[in-house]
A and B are shown apart, each in its own frame.
Chain A
Amino acid sequence: MTPIAPAMTDTAFALALALLLMAPLAIAGVALINTGLGRSRSAAQALLGNLAIVAVTAIVFALIGATVAGNLPGTPGSEGHILHVAGKPWNWLGAGPFLLSGLAAAPAQAQLALLFEFLAVAMAALIPWGSGADRFRLTAGCAAAAVMAAIVFPLLAHWVWAGGWLSQLGVNFSLGAGFLDPGGAATVHMFGGLSALAVIWIAGPRKGKFPKEGLATALPGHNAVYILFGCMIALVGWLGWNLAGALVWLHAPLSALPVTAINTVLAASAALAATFVVTRVRFGKPDASLCANAWLAGLVASSACAALVTPGVALAVGFVAGIATPLLVELLELAVSIDDPSGAITVHAAGGLLGLLAAGIFAPQQGQLVAQLVGIATLLGLVLPLVYLLFWILNRVHPFRADPDGERIGMDLHELGGGAYPEFVIHRDESYR
């Protein structure tokens, strides 16, 4: 039986709704960062793709995903499908109403939860789109987003947020308060980061990225202003997301919100400062793109732990994220031959992992760390192979990668027939010599 959440006061409901209405700014920030980190000849296709993916996920989640996620407690069938194994109930699949019927009559908190999931699925699906920049076809990106919104995200959302087996680890196995993910570090960011890895493996690197001889070619983002302004917008959205998550999923009192907001800012700031120093020491000058990645990694880590830890811990988590980000980006590119233009694997998958671990280590409940580890094991051991399999099948039906000519002239001209900056002179690309 899905536990019924304690009733929300009118003040808390209004505040949570207002905070959730700020959350799309995080999506806008990530969209700007994705676009800025790609090349100028694919900028319009990248930004249109971000917008199209938000639209596709909203429609598919309303048609299919919300039923699977089943997050309307109190409505018929909301308890989901339960398997009884070893004397314990394993709630593995939601059974919500079809096409959101009965939504207006559902409890206020259930409606907020559903709005949270609508925004979360859009953010999760944007992450692999950024990693496939400059080669991922628009229609294939939308199809991949539809698969994420119809199948994988709803399963995860049900398990973590809607009374599923991960959220019940505390009740059934005395593991703290069950798997905790108030800001979506696992359900959105780790899931998105692992989906990005699957896209990169299937689509392959950009042409000219890894030449036959020598080191990987640097293909820097085309607009640092988009990237850094995207980071600023993302902070506002993240504050809304983390605070709303604390209210909706943790039922936190209003007095706990200022600390959550401070922790969010501290984690991002510490990550930026650490990467600024690391890149200054390594390269002689701070790297704007890596600093932006670190800022985002700090925010992602805060999604898991901002509502659960002290400001000192949030600062430490941010520092670790900031030190790890430039090193991991370099390792993935140079040692592992992974071409990830937006750094999604480092920022979203590794940042989310760090935050989830911190939430387990520093949460006061006994057994919380094991609950977090089981959640991480689910993402890594079940979700990544499942997403890879689904994307592999999808790629057979509708190839992810544009043809070589399209990649050469740029995705804007190839897919849209016009560039994002028509008055600019397109320079010759040395990597195609």
Chain B
Amino acid sequence: MKYAGLLVMPAGFFLSIAALTLFPAPASRAAFVLCGLAVEALGLVVAVRGHMEARGESHQ
């Protein structure tokens, strides 16, 4: 699960980069960059959850 989260994070980065070239209007560009950051945050949360699950299993 940790690796899945870490794989999602670059997807957020490429979303932010795509916003720069696809949206010339400032508002939509900013919104899309924020969406990219949200995807990265989601990936980080998944990676952290994976870390916690792995720690729980190592205790059993």
Name A's B-contacting residues (CB within 8 A): 85-86, 88, 169, 173, 201, 205, 210, 212, 336-338, 366-367, 369-370, 373-374, 376-378, 380-382, 384-385, 388-389
Contacts and interface: CB of A to CB of B under 8 A. Distances in A.
- The 6 A-B pairs with the shortest beta carbon distances in the complex, nearest first, are A381-B13, A86-B21, A377-B16, A381-B40, A381-B12, A381-B9
Contacts, number: 75
B52 A336 contact: yes
A370 B33 contact: yes
Contact of A381 (B10, B21, B29, B55): B10
8 contacts: A169-B20, A336-B51, A373-B37, A380-B9, A380-B40, A382-B10, A382-B13, A385-B7
A216 to B, nearest CB: 11
B4 to A, nearest CB: 11
A377 B12 contact: yes
Given A380-B44, A385-B9, A85 B33 contact: no
Contacts of B55: 205, 210, 337
B6 A173 contact: no
A377 B37 contact: yes
Contacts of B41: 380
A33 B38 CA distance: 33
A210 B37 CA distance: 31
B26 A370 contact: yes
Main secondary structure of the interface of B (DSSP, over half): helix
B10 A370 contact: no
Given A374-B33, A381-B36, A389-B6, 5 more contacts: A169-B20, A373-B37, A380-B9, A381-B12, A381-B13
B39 to A, nearest CB: 8
A337 B21 contact: no
Contacts of A382: 9-10, 13
Contacts of B51: 201, 336-338
A374 B9 contact: no
A342 to B, nearest CB: 18
Nearest to A200: B51
Nearest to A366: B26
A203 to B, nearest CB: 12
B30 A370 contact: yes
Contacts of B9: 380-382, 384-385
B20 A374 contact: yes
A338 B47 CA distance: 12
Given A86-B21, A377-B13, A370 B48 contact: no
Contacts of B47: 201
B50 to A, nearest CB: 9
Nearest to A172: B20
B59 A388 contact: no
Contact of B48 (A88, A336, A381): A336
Contacts of B43: 381
